[in-house]
Amino acid sequence: MSPVYGTPDDAESIATIHRALELGIDLIDTADAYGDGQNEIIVGSAIRGLREKFILATKFGITRSNDGTLAVNGRPEYAAKACDASLQRLGVETIDLYYLHRVDPDVPIEETVGAMAQLVHAGKVRYIGLSEAGTQTLRRAHAIHPITALQTEYSLWTRDPETELLPVCSELDVGFVAYSPLGRGFLAGTISSTDDLAEGDRRHAMPRFANGNIEANNALVSVLRRAAENEGCTPAQLALAWLMSRSGSIVPIPGTKRRLWFEENVAALDVLPTVATLQRLDDVFRLNIAAGTRHPAAQMEKLGL
């Protein structure tokens, strides 16, 4: 809902959050890195007077220098400082689910999670989670304090979690939150070239949207589009229905800042694809089939630690 994908509209974003509550969707996921805190401010405005009706999740650990360079900070003292700042921006006393946004390779995960556990003991946080952590890191973290959720990218064109992460989450009874379940909008079937992206849109820097890759990936989406037509739904709805068919413990969090798209996403709950359709999607969108990595090279190095 802040300046990452397209042009922000705070009023429409707040209306979308209110519409979510009307439709029974009560999990809000944000982060201090989104819009350099602006996203948390928007969320805080939207839930004012409605706090107890929502499950509120946010993240810390990604920092930005004055020149725009991104870094990771998992130091214990920073965890406490970041939490206080998020609480202030959100206008709440407690965060329901507090994630480490990225694992800091220079700080033992035991130290970071230990600091997060102190936030739980202080009543500032109810539960803690990790984002884009590898299986060994998850095990080590879970040994220090129960990890409630692991948030990682998972969709038709990003099926990496199926090999190791999902089995370990099941073993440890850790919930799995799938971010970018629509491939940053690509699986909605509305992006055919980079010309469809606004100037400054973050996706211009993502390899899967680059010229050459985007054409190959559109060939995959054409299969999804035909399958959706057969099922009487939109490609986005079918992509979400496929994901929810994988396991009842997977919670997808498709991001949107407009009521129109939000309502379309929620309607995916009523889509029940045939076994043949699900198998067709499994066969076409197999592991590593997408052209290009899901993040630029520098960011890929920080994933799955």
Sheet holding 147-153, edge to edge: 27-29, 55-60, 95-100, 125-131, 147-153, 175-179, 250-253
Cα separation, 1 vs 256, in Å, equals 7
Helix (H, G, I), strand (E, B) or coil at 68: coil
d(CA 271, CA 232): 9
Q: How far apart are CA 24 and CA 161, in angstroms?
A: 28
CA distance 150 to 148: 7
One-letter amino acid of 301:
E
211: which 2 tokens?
Answer: 């010229």
Q: Look up tokens 């202080």; give the residue.
A: 122
Annotated active-site residue 5? The verdict is no
Half-sphere exposure of 147 (CA within 13 A, CB side): 32
Catalytic position from the list 5, 34, 98, 179: 34
End-to-end CA distance of the chain: 28
Q: Which residues are the active-site residues?
A: 34
